[in-house]
Every structure is written in structure tokens, then in C-alpha cells.
Structure 1
Amino acid sequence: MARTLVLIRHAKAEHPDDRDDHGRTLAGQGRRDAPEIGRWLRSQDVTVQVAVVSSAERTQETYRLLAAELADAPDPVVTDDVYYASAGELLEIVRALPPEATSAAIVAHNPGIGMLANALDDGDSAVEDTARMRAGFPTSSVAVFSVDGDWAAVDPGGARLVGYTVARG
């Protein structure tokens, strides 16, 4: 069974001196970009059954704004486990996704989310922006992968990139 995995880096965040990293909110540009992520996913006919979101404020805000653009977006599973998780830690989160889910999104941070996207890519994608994804994973990046088989069996090089964009609103 083919599954869809969506990896999202949060939208552009503010850098205030009086707030710790975990509490940083989206900047104006981020508040414009996050809904564009949802609109792009909708235009690609990507649905999300499960959303795992970092506990950082900027990732939660990103998900709220993009989810408002999707039909039937699920309530997020918010967890500290995604906050600055490494690519390996994020891969374990993918492997632990509910087996009945055929689509899932993870909203996280660099460098982990970008490294995971590049690690999962099987190298056989026809997506024009594959080279752009490999060169970096800026804020509001969205990579959509097709995964054959169970979540628990996902390995590096085991997913096909079927879509990539850097959403800008």
C-alpha cells in the first residue's frame, strides 16, 4: 500500500531578544507563508490523516494556519520529541506512525527535517525542484513522499519524492 509522507519546515519565525527559542512565534512573512503551504498541499490533492508537530510555538502556529486551508485536517499530535529532533529521531517518529494511517505530516525544524527529507529520497524523483531540496530546506519548505509498505519499515532511500515547494504567500 502506498502511503504519503509530508515533511514541513515551519514558516519564518521572529527572533526577539526577550523570548526563548521554544516560544518564538511566526514573523509577518511566516504568517503569510503558512497558509500558502496548506493551499499548495490542497492543489496537489494531498490529504493528511495524522499530523505530528513540534511543541515549539512557531511549528504549532504554522500547522494551525496551514490546516485551515485543508479539508478535514486532523488535530495535531504536539510533542517535545520533534523539537529539534535529528533526522534519525524523526525517522523513528515516522516508523511509529499509526499503521492504519495512509498519510501523515511532520512539522519540524532544521537541520533535522531537511536532513530527513534528503535521507528518505530514493534519488529517482522526476520532481523539478529535487536539486533545490537537496541544496537546502528553507523555512516553509514542503516535501511530499510516496512510501511503499508500512511506516515501520521506512528506511533511508526508501521513499520517492513526488512534490516539493517552498511556499511563499
Structure 2
Amino acid sequence: MPPSTETPERAGSAADGRPRRLFVLRHAKSAWPDGVADRDRPLGPRGLRDAPAAGSFLAESGVRPDLALCSPARRARETWELAAAELDGPVPTRHDPRLYGADASELLDVLHGVPDEVATLLLVGHNPGLEDLIPLLAARAVGDALDRVRSKFPTSAIAVLTWSGTWTDLRPGAALLTDLAIPRGARTDSG
């Protein structure tokens, strides 16, 4: 893993008692070109607009992930590349093949392997796994965020979960869902 650009004071969350943060980003809207395998589907026009808006949401939230774990599917990679371009500087990123097609339990296994020095993680992936992971981890939420996730976790949506402890401490019901955003890019006359 490339070294984090975060300060040592921020990196040691579990040791200093500050909560961990998990940002869950569903890939932006993809295209469905004929003859293209699911894993190779690119972003569609709406996805190309919405992915940078997701990055703007992260930047405006003051989010600087210590690590991004991203599905290797083209639409997820393109989403993260466009979103990351809105942040101030590069974020260490791993394209993890386990994220493609993973269910909530498999995603939790991936999260349990996150290094302890990571205080803030961004997970970029797919439904239904992400949509099932969020209510699995969050027994409670601020406002109606949990009901909204249970109803639908659309493309480009970002859920923010917090808890105290290490990544291996993350268990069903242990997190608080603090935010749910659905950033949308500006629509032009052409579409």
C-alpha cells in the first residue's frame, strides 16, 4: 500500500479514541453497450456527470480518505477516478477483485482486513451488496437515512458510517449511519 499523506495525529484513530469513518460510494450510472461484458461496462452520460459531483460532495465534506478500496469493474474505476479528481491530492487506492459481485457478508470480510492505520476508508462498489451492507452495519441513523437506504441506494449515492474501534471490531449493528447523500451533476441541454 502506498504511504498515506495524512498526518500521524489523524492516522491513529483507534489508539486515540476517535471514531472510524466508512464512506460507501455506489458507482455512477453505467452504460449498457451491446456485446460488452458486465465487468467492462463504462459510465453512461449521467454517470459522467454524477461521478464528479460525488467527488465534490466528499471535498465539501472535508473528507480525505486514508485509503480507497474500489471494485475493478470499469464503471466503479471510472467513478472513483472522476470523484477523486475533485479532491485535494491523490488518495491511495486498491482495486480489489473481491468487491465485484460481493454480498454484504463478503464486503464485511474485506473491511475486516483494512489496516489499523486507516481511520477513514472509501469503499466503491455495487448493489445489491452495498445496499445490504449499510443496514447490516448501522443499527441506528441520523434522521431517516437508514429508511432511505433500505428503500433505495441509487447510483452515485454516498453513505457515511462511524463507529469506534478497529476495522476488525466492525460488526453488524455497530455503526451509526450519519449521512446519506445522492450527489447529482449539472444537466446540460444535450442530456
2:155 maps to 1:155: no
Structure 2 residues without counterparts, runs of 5 or longer: 1-16, 186-191
1:1-169 matches, cutoff 5 A: 1=17, 2-123=19-140, 125-169=141-185
Unpaired stretches in structure 1, ≥5 consecutive residues = none
Q: Distance in 1 between matches of 2:180 and 2:116?
A: 25
| Cα distance in 2 for residues equivalent to 1:43 and 1:73 | 16
SS at match of 1:146: strand
- The alpha-carbon deviation at position 64 of structure 1 amounts to 0.3
SS, match of residue 91 in structure 1: helix
Q: CA deviation at 1:128?
A: 4.3
Q: Deviations over 1:89-124 (max 9, x none)?
A: 10011111110110001101000011001111121x
**Equivalent residue number for residue 4 of structure 2:** none
Whether the 8 Å CA contact 1:129–1:165 is kept in 2: the answer is: no
The Cα offsets for residues 58-94 of structure 1, whole Å up to 9 and x where unpaired, read as 0000000000111234132002110011100100111
Greater radius of gyration (CA): 2
Percent identity (aligned): 36
When structure 1 is superposed on structure 2, of 141-150 and 70-79 the one drifting more is 70-79
Whether the aligned pair in 2 keeps the contact of 1:122 and 1:158 (CA below 8 Å) is yes
In structure 1, distance between residues paired with 2:96 and 2:44: 22
Separation in structure 1 between the aligned mates of residue 119 and residue 46 of structure 2, nearest angstrom: 32
2:151 and 2:102 mapped to 1: Cα distance? Answer: 20
Secondary structure, aligned partner of 1:26: coil
Please give the TM-score of this superposition, normalised by the length of structure 2: 0.84
Is the 8 Å Cα contact of residues 72 and 100 (structure 2) preserved in structure 1? yes
Which amino acid is 1:133 matched to?
V
Partners of 1:73 and 1:100 lie apart in 2 by 17
